Amino acid sequence: MEKQKKIIRVFFFLLFFSVPTEVFSQSQTKSIVEDAYNLTISKITSFIKTVTQSYLDTLFPTVEIQANTGLTNALTGGILIVTPLFNSKNIYNTTFLQGSLFLTREDRYRQTLNVGLGERFLLMDKKLLVGFNSFYNHEFPYNHKRASFGFETRSSVGEINANKYYRLSTWNGGYNGIQEKALDGQDIEIGVPLPYINWTKAYLKKFKWESPSGSSDSKGDQFSLRASLPFGFSIEGGRKSYSTAFTSDENFFKLTWNSNTIDNDKSLTISNEAYVLSAMENGRYTKVRNEDLITKSYKITATTTTSADLPKGYIIRVGLTWAPMTTSAAWGTAQTICSNSTALGFSAGTWRTPSPTEIQGLSGVITKTELVDTHGWVFAHIFNIWSNTSLTAVNFNTGGIVGTANTNFFNVACVKI
């Protein structure tokens, strides 16, 4: 009997210690399996990333995928690559090719192909990058062609980009019979990183596009902020402002993914120093900052009879073609603005301010809300529009005649003679 009791005690003793040991073993085994799984996934991910990035770095040091909206009143998407022309180990002299394809939805889908050749030099112990470039641009399906030449100088504390554009095509038939023509132009841009957060840059650009008829050129400036984000992403937003009458200012936003900045660990950090003059070796294959899309001028043909045939903002109502209203001025200045206008490619003297009856007729067939929301008109003054009758305006809301002084600033609308 005593022997049986001892056997029972030994059994419970072993059972007491075996249960937690078994539980511990199961927990430990599960932990080991999870660690092994996570390590395997990490290794596979790292391997794929290393191979992919190594492959891209070898053939295409820079690959960008971009989407933006605002500058063309449409959504634009594109892909851009920068690749060395020669596999040279001389980092002080870099020859490269840059190519891109952009798809834009304006009146219809348009595709713009850009191919460029560039040369960059590292100077001042790699602290300064200086380069020259040339590009050919082709827009399909209307066969607009353009060439450009550019200069750039870059450092970690600022950059300057300048470009000159030359049209290679003449008037081409566009959508719905509207005649279109690529424009000559030029721009110069200064970019400066913000102090302590150098991953954000401020850009200021001055631009000019030459009128095809020799009249007033389209010119203005563009301001933007560009921020580099983790995982190769960046965002840029800004405003393009025109100093030319009848051209609306534009806000824009751009989202970009760049394969060359996937491992950027300086984004979203605050530096201890406002600026650091560092080496520019890694900037040899950054994209050239120039205009990817071709800027064009438009003119209507004799067969154009509806607003659908016109660029955005222009309308045909009460038997007249109306240019988009975007500004205000005194009465005398309003007459000059319209008489000097070359809207739609017509020569100066073919536009005028409307008569009071014509303004009243327009207000009877279209609302202010529709003009603003659908056609992009800007009412700088809440209602009043100058007419061609001396010192006389019309209240667009009521149709009432407003006799006033020349010093008042009312809306300026122009109609084609």
Q: What is the pLDDT of residues 347-378, one digit of tens each?
A: 788 899 998 888 988 888 888 988 998 888 99
C-alpha to C-alpha distance for 349 and 197, rounded to whole angstroms: 52
Distance of CA 39 to the CA centre of its chain: 41
Alpha helices (H) in 219-355, listed in sequence order? 331-339
pLDDT digits (tens, 9 = 90+) for 70-128: 655 457 889 999 999 887 788 999 999 999 999 987 656 889 999 999 999 999 999 99
Residue 2 vs residue 306, higher pLDDT: 2
Three-state DSSP state, 159: strand
Look up residue 126 and give its two tokens.
Answer: 């790699």
Confidence category of residue 35, pLDDT binned at 50, 70, 90: low
Length of the chain: 417
What rounded mean pLDDT belongs to the chain?
A: 82
pLDDT digits (tens, 9 = 90+) for 272-321: 999 999 999 989 999 999 999 999 887 655 444 444 557 888 888 887 88
pLDDT digits (tens, 9 = 90+) for 174-189: 765 667 889 999 999 9
pTM, rounded to two decimals: 0.65
pLDDT digits (tens, 9 = 90+) for 197-243: 999 999 999 999 997 765 678 889 999 999 999 888 999 999 998 88
Residue 48 pLDDT: 53
C-alpha to C-alpha distance for 69 and 229, rounded to whole angstroms: 19
Which of 101, 114, 108, 112 minimizes the C-alpha distance to 74? Answer: 108
Q: Does 32 have pLDDT greater than 70? A: no
Residue 21 pLDDT: 45
The winner for highest mean pLDDT among 50-59, 244-253, 318-327 is: 318-327
C-alpha to C-alpha distance for 17 and 294, rounded to whole angstroms: 81
Average pLDDT estimate for 48-64: 64
Residue 316 pLDDT: 86
Residue 106 pLDDT: 65
Q: Does 14 have pLDDT greater than 50? A: no
C-alpha to C-alpha distance for 293 and 113, rounded to whole angstroms: 9
Residue 119 vs residue 63, higher pLDDT: 119
Q: Does 389 have pLDDT greater than 80? A: yes
| Residue 253 CB contacts under 8 Å (≥ 6 apart), including other chains | 68, 69, 70, 235, 236, 237
Residue 41 pLDDT: 57
